[in-house]
């Protein structure tokens, strides 16, 4: 499946499918609509059935069972959009064959180099082929690698009818990168007993824990007076905002945390003397600590209002998704299936928490338990993104292996 998945992936990544957080449409960009329609046409050619593209851009299809017994319906889900954080237009991927640990110059003019000194994980892939960017855009492995791997696995099963399997459902979602990937996902129409998102990182990753996530939009209202006569009159909202940020735990930020550690992340700050806005994201694996983080943000706002008067500061907190672990623990056999499937493919499962979220985190709370599988990619959302060819092929084999494993439920 290696040749097929690479060719498919290279066709997919040249399509610009960046999601747009400023749009209220679903999908949020025309590129996703075009890509979804392209995928539907491809699935028709591959002979899948029940192919739909709904009003909101969700693509679903069925690989029919070739067995005469009832089996659980397993699903596989990937997202079509790429991150708006980096350009996804005019993506020019290239393949570095037989990588031997050297620096890879991505773009000489802007001095972007993929180096093992900065990215030591490169050394794991000596002797392999790497797909890299040209240093000016992201690659799009998040999550077009997942899309390509699912489609390639379906093609393989169509070409090998001797492999017995039950009914398989696949879905490709829009706008995952802007936290809307499950907004319009109709779980009953999907009809799977459980599913796997194919949206993880390096080969072997298997994830059933993710952050609890919220956003915070904060506004400080100041008062601007000519600085020459401002004593006891001016209220500088920029200084209020600065003081507010500095009161938060300084080491509980993304650049100082790892593993199960949560954080506050200031993602945007803009303003002037009379009006300043902050945007945060809040993340934590533990639900109690997560609620405590939100309360700490609220406490700071309350303190500002006590000092300067009610209404000086406002906060709007919005929960985005929760740790899927709570919904996966009662059905841990689906994680065991994935572990067994990886082992059968000669891959050591790496069970790690997702320091982020996937569509699966929300789908799990919508009644579709949905752990996350690796795609093979690294350094998502930027110009240093890369993916080993052999890892992509391995992901295809794991998908097939999971389907074969589910078919053994009859014995």
Domain boundary residue, one of 254, 287, 320: 320
Catalytic residue (choose from 4, 16, 143, 176): 176
pLDDT-above-70 percentage for the chain? 100
- Shared domain for 202 and 343, answered yes or no, is yes
Q: Is the preceding peptide bond at 314 cis, omega within 30 degrees of 0? A: no
Domain boundary residue, one of 320, 351, 368: 320
Burial degree of 333 (CB within 10 A; 0-12, 13-18, 19+): exposed
pLDDT-above-90 percentage for the chain? 91
**Per-residue confidence (pLDDT) for residue 409, from 0 to 100:** 79
- Shared domain for 179 and 229, answered yes or no, is no
Tokens of 335: 């994680």
Q: What is the mean pLDDT of residues 295-312?
A: 95
Provide the domain limits for residue 281.
212-320
User: For residues 396 and 375, what is the distance between their CA atoms, to the nearest angstrom?
Assistant: 9
Domain boundary residue, one of 257, 289, 320: 320
**Per-residue confidence (pLDDT) for residue 358, from 0 to 100:** 82
Q: Is the pLDDT of residue 75 over 90?
A: yes
Q: Is the pLDDT of residue 187 over 80?
A: yes
- Shared domain for 96 and 200, answered yes or no, is yes
Q: Which of 157-161, 229-233, 244-248 is predicted least confidently?
A: 229-233
- Shared domain for 51 and 181, answered yes or no, is yes
- Shared domain for 97 and 112, answered yes or no, is yes
**Per-residue confidence (pLDDT) for residue 410, from 0 to 100:** 59
Q: Is the pLDDT of residue 42 over 90?
A: yes
- Could you report the per-residue pLDDT of 2-16, keeping only the tens digit for each? 999 999 999 999 999
- Shared domain for 197 and 235, answered yes or no, is no
- Shared domain for 311 and 197, answered yes or no, is no
- Shared domain for 43 and 134, answered yes or no, is yes
Catalytic residue (choose from 4, 42, 81, 205): 81
- Shared domain for 327 and 310, answered yes or no, is no
- Shared domain for 52 and 70, answered yes or no, is yes
Q: Quick one: pLDDT band at residue 411, thresholds 50, 70, 90?
A: very low
CATH number at residue 218: 3.30.70.360
CA distances from 213 to 269, 320, 354, 372 (A): 20, 5, 12, 17
Closest CA to 203 of 1, 378, 408, 12: 378
Q: What is the mean pLDDT of residues 361-369?
A: 94
- Shared domain for 150 and 292, answered yes or no, is no
- Shared domain for 20 and 107, answered yes or no, is yes
Mean pLDDT of the chain: 95
Q: Is the pLDDT of residue 161 over 80?
A: yes
**Domain tally, the chain:** 2
Q: Is the pLDDT of residue 111 over 90?
A: no
Residue 255 annotated among the catalytic residues of the structure:
no
CATH number at residue 343: 3.40.630.10
- Could you report the per-residue pLDDT of 163-182, keeping only the tens digit for each? 999 999 999 999 999 888 99
Residue 274 annotated among the catalytic residues of the structure:
no
Q: Quick one: pLDDT band at residue 280, thresholds 50, 70, 90?
A: very high
Q: Quick one: pLDDT band at residue 60, thresholds 50, 70, 90?
A: very high
- Could you report the per-residue pLDDT of 310-358, keeping only the tens digit for each? 999 999 999 988 999 999 999 999 999 999 999 999 999 999 898 887 8
Q: What is the 3-state secondary structure (H, E, C) of the chain?
A: CHHHHHHHHHHHHCCCCECCCCCCCCCCCHHHHHHHHHHHHHHHHHCCEEEEECCCCCEEEEECCCCCCCCCCEEEEEECCECCCCCCCCCCCEEECCCCCCCEEEECCCCEEECCCCCHHHHHHCCCCEEECCCCCCCCHHHHHHHHHHHHHHHHHHHCCCCCCCCEEEEEECCHHHCCCCCCCCHHHHCCCEEEEEEECCCCEEECCECEEEEEEEEEECECCCHHHCCCCCECHHHHHHHHHHCCCCCCCHHHCCCCCCEEEEEEEEEECCEEEEEEEEEECCHHHHHHHHHHHHHHHHHHHHHHCCCCEEEEEEEEECCCHHHHHHHCHHHHHHHHHHHHCCCCCEECCECCCCHHHHHHHCCCCCCEEECCCECCCCCCCEEEHHHHHHHHHHHHHHHHHHHHHHC
């Amino acid at each position: 499946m290696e040749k097929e998945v690479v060719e498919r992936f290279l066709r997919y990544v040249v399509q610009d499918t960046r999601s747009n957080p400023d749009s209220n449409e679903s999908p949020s960009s025309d590129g996703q609509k075009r890509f979804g329609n392209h995928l539907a046409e491809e699935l028709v050619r591959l002979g899948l059935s029940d192919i739909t593209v709904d009003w909101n851009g969700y693509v679903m299809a069925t690989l029919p069972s070739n067995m005469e017994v009832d089996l659980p319906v397993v699903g596989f889900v990937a997202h079509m959009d790429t991150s708006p954080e980096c350009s996804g237009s005019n993506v020019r991927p290239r393949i570095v064959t037989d990588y031997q640990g050297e620096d890879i110059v991505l773009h000489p003019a802007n001095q972007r180099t993929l180096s093992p000194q900065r990215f030591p994980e490169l050394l794991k892939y000596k002797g392999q082929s790497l797909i890299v960017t040209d240093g000016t855009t992201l690659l799009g492995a998040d999550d077009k690698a997942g899309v390509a791997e699912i489609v390639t696995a379906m093609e393989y099963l169509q070409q090998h009818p001797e492999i017995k399997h039950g009914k398989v459902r696949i879905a490709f979602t829009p706008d995952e990168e802007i936290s809307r990937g499950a907004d319009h996902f109709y779980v009953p129409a999907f009809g799977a007993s459980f599913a796997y998102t194919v949206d993880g990182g390096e080969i072997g990753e298997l994830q059933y824990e993710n952050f609890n996530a919220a956003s915070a939009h904060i506004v400080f209202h100041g008062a601007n007076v000519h600085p020459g006569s401002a004593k006891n009159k001016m209220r500088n909202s920029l200084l209020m905002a600065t003081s507010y940020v500095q009161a938060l735990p300084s080491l509980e930020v993304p650049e100082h945390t790892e593993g199960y550690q949560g954080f506050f992340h200031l993602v945007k700050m803009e303003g002037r003397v009379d009006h300043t806005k902050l945007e945060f994201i809040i993340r934590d694996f533990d639900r109690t600590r997560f609620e405590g983080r939100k309360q700490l943000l609220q406490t700071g706002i309350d303190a500002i209002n006590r000092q300067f008067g009610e209404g000086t500061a406002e906060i709007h907190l919005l929960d985005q998704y929760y740790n899927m672990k709570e919904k996966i623990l009662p059905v841990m056999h689906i994680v065991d299936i994935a572990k067994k499937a990886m082992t059968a493919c000669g891959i050591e499962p790496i069970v790690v928490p997702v320091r982020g979220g996937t569509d699966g985190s929300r789908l799990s709370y919508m009644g579709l338990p949905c752990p996350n599988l690796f795609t093979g990619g690294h350094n998502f959302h930027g110009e240093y993104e890369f993916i080993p060819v052999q890892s992509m092929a391995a992901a295809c084999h794991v998908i097939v292996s999971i389907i074969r494993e589910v078919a053994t439920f009859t014995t």
